[in-house]
Structure formats: structure tokens, C-alpha cells
Structure 1
Amino acid sequence: MSLIRRIDLRDADATVDYRAAVPRADFDIEAAVPAVHAICEEVRTRGLDAIVEFGERFDGVRVDDIRVAPEAMRAALDQLDPDIRAGLEESIRRLRATCANELEHDAVTDLGPGARVTHRKVPVGRVGLYVPGGLAPLVSSVLMNVVPAQTAGVESIALASPPQKEFGGSVHPTILAACALLGVEEVYAVGGAQAIAMFAYGVGPCRRVDLVTGPGNIWVVTAKRILKGQVGIDSEAGPTEIAILADDTGDASYVAADLISQAEHDPLAASVLVTTSARLAAEVEVELDRQVAATKHTERITTSLGGKQSGIVLVRDLEQGLEVVNAYAAEHLEIHTEDAAGWAARVRNAGAIFVGPHAPVSLGDYCAGSNHVLPTAGCACHSSGLSVRAFTKSVHVIDYSAQALADVAAHVVTLAEAEDLPGHGAAITARVGR
């Protein structure tokens, strides 16, 4: 019996909803709202005491001093494996380069003599970055959050990650080492919904932030939803997902390895192959059996691949395959086809697109220079991944001379009267003709 199910869409007609045809895992934020709302309210009303109690309850360790000492971060960096440090440094170098090219500059528009509008880009003042530490210490998420924030010019950065019982209630040392490497000095051993509430309300030693970014489990995502009126958020990212569009030129061993790489994250992770080739589908099934048996997290991966959120989708041709992947709007989309770049150029909806056999998602997770904090659950049809832009905001600066105002005054007064707002018009006439 195959580890992964098949979905045959080769005979589907134009009435089929492809987004519904490839279902996702159950990730019911609404069901989590009551419990998470209670946590956020406890943090808001009881402050640091609530955070300490929730850490003891959910993470199994009591941490009375939630802020990590700077010397602990420096010690973690000193003790970091040199090869890991080298990998982090190269990832940072590549990510800084792409982030620098994403920086937007002020746009000045002169609409006439003395009439100027400037579209100014302003960095967010203070951000709270969340780094998961549950099933795995996601040190790469430190880089993906911190580097674009620093490049954008954010002056105040705080980072939170769950306390680790194994390390005496501190944050995982590899995460601390990455913080030290990046010059982040404000780190808190706080996880889950209580971390997001801490950022939003400003609790204990942590001052309130303007924006919270970073991936997390359903508790973190639900807290973001509840608190987004109190604080800005990047997105409500759910379980990770990969879709692969492949024809009969695809390499089954590569495809299987990449499906497994995402299934390794979480039992709810989605791994989807969309292919025109029944032969490739069969070969991938064989490869999955072989590779899953030999990998470390066999149980987690088997659960993910066997879930309703994963599957091999058979399509009649690549045109239909393109429709399916655009409807699915995957967080990560790989293209394993002849003329992969040509097909990738026609993709409209994906968090990130990986072109050809030598650009696996794992490359993007660490060292491609791209960001791996991406929209999930179909949100790639309207949202983008984390970038420098997420840490900036736009401000229009309007600068008009007296003559420039006079030149447009009649139009403003007319439009104000059309909306029955005479006070608006009066604010113009008070200045014009004096």
C-alpha cells in the first residue's frame, strides 16, 4: 500500500474547483480562539506572572527571568560548531544581498509648479520576531526575520523563542548563537501565544512592539489573529506545504526527497505532486517507501504523507497542471518539467517558485538568498512572503505652494460640495484669495 494517496483529475471538466480538489490539513484557528484568547487576556491583565506560569505549563520549565543575558548569547556563539557558523554566515551574506536589492526608495512626483507629493518609505520603529522551537530549533528563521528587518532600518528588534527544558529554561543555544552573530541583543525565553501577547501589550522587560513576524504553531497563529488589531502582523501562516509540478522528465528520487523534506516539518505538513506522468507517479511511490524507511523522522513523515493534505495528483497535460498549482497556491512550488523556466514564468500563485532539478525547497530554507517565511493555506493568491517591504510602511508627504493650491482649489471645493462636506471646501477658500 502506498504511503501517499492518488487524486486523478485527468477527466475533470471546467466545473471542477481545483482548490477544493486538493484539500489541506485541518488547521482550525476558530476552534483555538477561546483558549488562546484566555491566554492573551491573562498576559494582558497579569503580565509577567502569567507568562512564567504558561511557560511552566506548556514548556515544562519555569523561567523567572525571561530575558536571556547577553553573555549567554556570546557564549553560545563561542561554542557554536564552526561548520554551522560558516553555514549561517553564508546564508546571512546571501540574504543580505537580496534584501538590499529589495529596498525601495522615495518616489517624488511633481504635479505642477509648487505641487509635489513624495511617497516616502519609513521603517517600522520596533518589531517582535518569533522563532519556533518545538519539534525543531528553527535557527534559519532567526536569519529570515532579522536580516530583512535590519536591512529595512528597523531600530529596535526583540526576539522570542520557547524556553528549552534541556537547556535550563533558556532558548536553544543555536538560536542564541545566531542572534549573537546578527547583533540581536534583546531575546526572550517565551513561546506560544504568550509570546505574541507579550509583544503586543508590552509585558515585563519587553516593551510593546509595532509589528510581530515569524512562523509558529496554531497557538501562535491564533494569537496573531486575535491581537492584530493591537499590533501589526505579517501573516497567519499555517502548516508548511510543497507542491511539485512535474512531467515525465522529472527524477523520481529528487521528487520523493523533496516531498519528504517538507513532510519532515510537521505531521500536518502537505506534500503534493502534480504530474502528467503515471510512470513518474509510480516511481515516486516506490522512492517514498525506500527513502522514508531510511530517514530519521519516519513516524512524523508517514503521518504527513498519509494525511488528506498530501497526495499525487494526475493531470492530463501541463496546462491543466498549471491550473491546479495556481488554484492550490502553494507556499513552495517546484517545477520539474521540460522548459521549467518557461512554465515557472506562467505561475501566478505561489509563495516561492523553485525552478528545475537543482533548486529544491531545502535550498530556499537556508542558503538560496530568498526568504522562507511564506504564505500558506492558499494565501499566496493574495499575499507575499516576508521581505524588507514587510518592515517598512509608506507615508505620502504633500507639499504645495500657495499658487499650487489656488490652481486646484475650485476642483477641491466642487468635490467637497458634491459630498455635502462644506467644511472641507471652507478649509480651501479660507486660504485662497487672501
Structure 2
Amino acid sequence: MLRIITQQADVKSELQRICDRTQDEQVLHKEATVREVLQAVKRQGDKAVLHYTAEFDHQILKPEELKVTGSELDAAYQQVSKDLLQAIRLACQKIEAFHRQRVPKSWVQFGDDQVVLGKRYTPVDRAGLYIPGGRACYPSTVLMNAIPAKVAGVPRVVMVTPARGGKMVNPAVLVAAQEAGVQEIYRVGGAQAIAALAYGTETIPKVNVITGPGNIYVTLAKKLVYGTVGIDSLAGPSEVLVIADETANPAYVAADLLAQAEHDPMAAAILLTTDAGLAKKVQMAVERQLVDHPRRIDTEKAIAHYGLIVVVESLEAAAELANEFAPEHLELEVADPWALMNQIRHAGAIFLGSSTPEAVGDYLAGPNHTLPTSGAARYASALGVETFLKHSSIIQYSQTALEKVASAIDILATTEGLPSHADSVKLRVED
């Protein structure tokens, strides 16, 4: 059952426990396994990828079976309903429209003495997308990762995702990938897939940036290859924090909490409310909605371990607790959500009002659903077009401009004990 506590209890330590839920005592052991996988793939390429795919995913593949074929991609369209295809295409349109507004523009500024300064944005050459396939299929995750890469102008976008029974990849995932502009798809998952993208194999190309969520092994692999390639983030289990007042509908709030809890046994679902009566109603609504829930076991585990209702003294107190937790998803189901939002400093995505469930953002509102978790919203942001871009500074000085700053450069370079730095300027102004 979803627990109810009051703010007089040690709420902060309880929220910290939930925030720290990914700090598994066996992480070091798992990291050792991941290091072994990475090194093997780096040395042996496809051979190691196939070995670990057989060992961990129980899929026996040949090298030529790693890449999803054109006939499989064509067949996927015949295996999804027209309604699903329309929904995927609608989501594509909305996600692309949002991300096109976020493309940074290169700029150049012409200053005094013919000094030119600027910034130039260019896409990476190759992006690798990891799409999980363990507990469910995630065509929405395909769209959220592939579309920003496409909008950024990445010329080569490849995707890896684990196959399941019969070496098959979910057709909805394949259709979403094609609609979003993915050019190559490989049926491999786990740490070995991250290694293949980071180092390249005979079949799978080396990429510059890897994005997409996964289990602890995938996350550790991304952490360990960072520096060889760029990554989006180290994603943890999903989480939602709802702030609600007496105007909130308890059935809506309960459904939103369960929408996160059903993801994973480690998902977190938290309600902060000023209304003790609402707290009890939500607790009861959660129990009712769990009856005959298709994912009841995992959902109940998440609720039991990482679900919580806190009755707070005020909305200001709720906002402060939310800022300390820095949730991935924050719902403001209150009479005046815009006023309360002004008090929020840390959240991956903020959903305003009772008609804006987090599921809207998961699928097709437009903003990305790949968000910082486990408190990372204090310093990190959603995946976006910028993830697939890098920027170069542009600098041009005229002779006159260089002469004006030569003395200052000489002093700074001399102070740092770098005489050739100073000479590189002196030679130009003394000639």
C-alpha cells in the first residue's frame, strides 16, 4: 500500500532514500562485468558481440544477422495497425516541430578594429541510439532520440536494440525508427551494444554520440565509454513527483502515480499534498486501480518500496521539498500551477494543471521525454538537438587589434611561464 506520512516525520531523509535507490551495493561487481564486455568487444569486434548476445540475451546470431534487413523493415509496416502508424506519425510531427525551435544558430560578431568573434554549430558525423527492449517495446523512445538527431543534421543515425524470440525486433520499434529517419538498425542490446557503438566492429559503425536509456549494465557501459564518445546522460529508473491541493482529482493523481510505478520495480511515485483528505482518497484510488492491473507485480513493488504520500503544511513547503528531490517529472495539480511553478528550480519536465498528465509528455507533446533522473535535474537537462551538436569558437584579429592587446598577452603569458606564447604575439607586432 502507498504510505502516507506527514511533514513532521523525517521527510527529507525518506526522499533522499528514494533518490539514492540506484546506488546498488553490487554496482562494483556489475561494473567489473561491464569492463570485461567492453574490452572484449574492443579487441574482438563482432565475435565478442555475438558471444555476449548469446550469453546474456539468449539469442544465437550470425554476423550477417546483426543488421536488420530491408525486407524486415518493409514487413514491419504490415504488422502494425493503421491507428498505431497514424499515432507514430502524429508524434513525429509534434516532436520534430518542437525540436526545430530549439536549434542553436551559428553567429558572428564584427567588433572594433576588425575583431571578429563568433560561434559555429555543426552536427556530429554519426549518432548511435540505444533502444531498450526488455520489459516492453518503446517506439516513443525511438522518436525522442532519433528526431533531435535528424533535426540537428546528423548525416548517419544508427540504432541498436535487443531482439527477442525468433531473433525478431518489435515491429512498432522498426516502424518508428523508419518514420524518424534512422538509417541502420542492429539487433543487439546490453553493454555489448554500447561497446560496439563506442569502438566499432566489423559490422556496427563507431559513432560519436550515444543516447538512449537502458538497464544498469547499459548505464554503466555508457559511463565507462564516455570520453571515447559523448553520451546524453546516465539514466536511472523513472520517477514522478506530484504536488496537489484540495482541487485535485484523486483518481487522476492515482493514475499518474501508477503511470510511473508500472515502468519498473525501482520507479518512484511521490505525492506532496496540502490536503490530508486527498491523501487518503489517492491511497484508496491507487488500490482500486491496481486491481487486475496487467503489470501489477512490478507496479506494487515500486509502490511499496519507492511510493510515498506526504501531507505538507503549504504549497511553499511542497515546492521546497520538490526542489531538494529534483524530480524527473513534476506535476503541479493545483488551482494556480503557474504561480507555483515560479517556486520550482529543479525538475526535468513540469506538467501544469489537471489536464496535463505526464503521459502527454511521454508520447507527443513535443518536448523530449529523455530526462535527468535521481536528482540530476539540479544540473542537467532533457535530451535535445544540442546533444548531437558541437560548437567551435570563431576568432579573427586584425594587425591593429593584435597590437592593442599584445602587452596584456605578454604579461599573462610571462606570468604563466609560457614564453613561446608571448613570442607568438611579439613576433607579429614587432616586425
Fold agreement, TM-score > 0.5: yes
Equivalent position of 1:212 in the other structure: 210
Q: Partners in 2 of 1:255 and 1:219 — Cα distance? A: 33
Deviation string, structure 1 residues 216-252 (Cα, Å, up to 9, x no partner) = 1111001011111221111100101011011111110
Tell me whether 1:135 sits opposite 2:135 in the alignment.
Answer: yes
Q: Partners in 1 of 2:422 and 2:111 — Cα distance? A: 21
Equivalent position of 1:79 in the other structure: 79
Aligned-residue offset at 1:21: 6.3
Equivalent position of 2:56 in the other structure: 58
| Amino acid paired to 1:48 | D
> What is the DSSP-based 3-state SS (H/G/I as helix, E as strand, rest coil) of the residue aligned with 1:223?
helix
Tell me whether 1:123 sits opposite 2:147 in the alignment.
Answer: no
Where in structure 2 are the equivalents of 1:233-272 lying within 5 Å? 233-272=231-270
Equivalent position of 1:327 in the other structure: 324
Aligned-residue offset at 1:118: 1.0
Distance 1:27 1:85, change over 3 A: farther
> What is the DSSP-based 3-state SS (H/G/I as helix, E as strand, rest coil) of the residue aligned with 1:430?
helix
Where in structure 2 are the equivalents of 1:368-379 lying within 5 Å? 368-379=365-376
Is the contact between residue 73 and residue 179 of structure 1 (CA under 8 Å) also seen in structure 2?
A: no
Aligned-residue offset at 1:187: 0.4
Equivalent position of 1:344 in the other structure: 341
Where in structure 2 are the equivalents of 1:63-212 lying within 5 Å? 63-64=61-62, 65-165=65-165, 168-212=166-210
Distance 1:433 1:17, change over 3 A: farther
Equivalent position of 1:277 in the other structure: 275
> What is the DSSP-based 3-state SS (H/G/I as helix, E as strand, rest coil) of the residue aligned with 1:113?
helix
Q: Partners in 2 of 1:196 and 1:337 — Cα distance? A: 42
Aligned-residue offset at 1:336: 0.7
Aligned-residue offset at 1:373: 0.5
Aligned-residue offset at 1:42: 1.6
| Amino acid paired to 2:219 | V
Aligned-residue offset at 1:182: 2.5
Distance 1:183 1:11, change over 3 A: closer
| Amino acid paired to 1:264 | E
Equivalent position of 1:399 in the other structure: 396
| Amino acid paired to 1:260 | L
The aligned length equals 427
| Amino acid paired to 1:102 | R
Aligned-residue offset at 1:348: 0.9
| Amino acid paired to 2:198 | A
> What is the DSSP-based 3-state SS (H/G/I as helix, E as strand, rest coil) of the residue aligned with 1:353?
strand
> What is the DSSP-based 3-state SS (H/G/I as helix, E as strand, rest coil) of the residue aligned with 2:284?
helix
> What is the DSSP-based 3-state SS (H/G/I as helix, E as strand, rest coil) of the residue aligned with 1:304?
helix
* Comparing 98-107 and 28-37, the one that deviates more: 28-37
Is the contact between residue 77 and residue 180 of structure 1 (CA under 8 Å) also seen in structure 2?
A: no
The percentage of aligned residue pairs carrying the same residue is: 37
Q: Partners in 2 of 1:365 and 1:376 — Cα distance? A: 15
Equivalent position of 2:307 in the other structure: 310
Q: Partners in 1 of 2:22 and 2:49 — Cα distance? A: 28
| Amino acid paired to 2:118 | T
Tell me whether 1:359 sits opposite 2:381 in the alignment.
Answer: no
Which stretches of structure 1, 4 residues or more, deviate above 6 A after TM superposition? none
| Amino acid paired to 2:333 | H
| Amino acid paired to 1:311 | L
| Amino acid paired to 2:51 | E
Aligned-residue offset at 1:163: 1.1
Is the contact between residue 274 and residue 312 of structure 1 (CA under 8 Å) also seen in structure 2?
A: yes
| Amino acid paired to 1:385 | A
| Amino acid paired to 2:137 | P
* Comparing 294-303 and 109-118, the one that deviates more: 109-118
Aligned residue among 40, 44, 47 for 2:45: 47
Aligned-residue offset at 1:107: 2.5
In structure 2, list runs of 5 or more residues that go unmatched.
none
| Amino acid paired to 2:328 | E
In structure 1, list runs of 5 or more residues that go unmatched.
none
Equivalent position of 1:382 in the other structure: 379
Distance 1:37 1:107, change over 3 A: same
| Amino acid paired to 2:21 | A
Q: Partners in 2 of 1:23 and 1:107 — Cα distance? A: 40
Distance 1:119 1:17, change over 3 A: farther
> What is the DSSP-based 3-state SS (H/G/I as helix, E as strand, rest coil) of the residue aligned with 2:186?
strand
Equivalent position of 1:227 in the other structure: 225
Aligned-residue offset at 1:399: 1.3
Deviation string, structure 1 residues 116-154 (Cα, Å, up to 9, x no partner) = 111111111111100010000111010000000000111
Q: TM (normalized to structure 2)?
A: 0.96
Q: Partners in 1 of 2:185 and 2:204 — Cα distance? A: 9
Q: Partners in 1 of 2:18 and 2:272 — Cα distance? A: 10
Q: Partners in 1 of 2:400 and 2:70 — Cα distance? A: 57
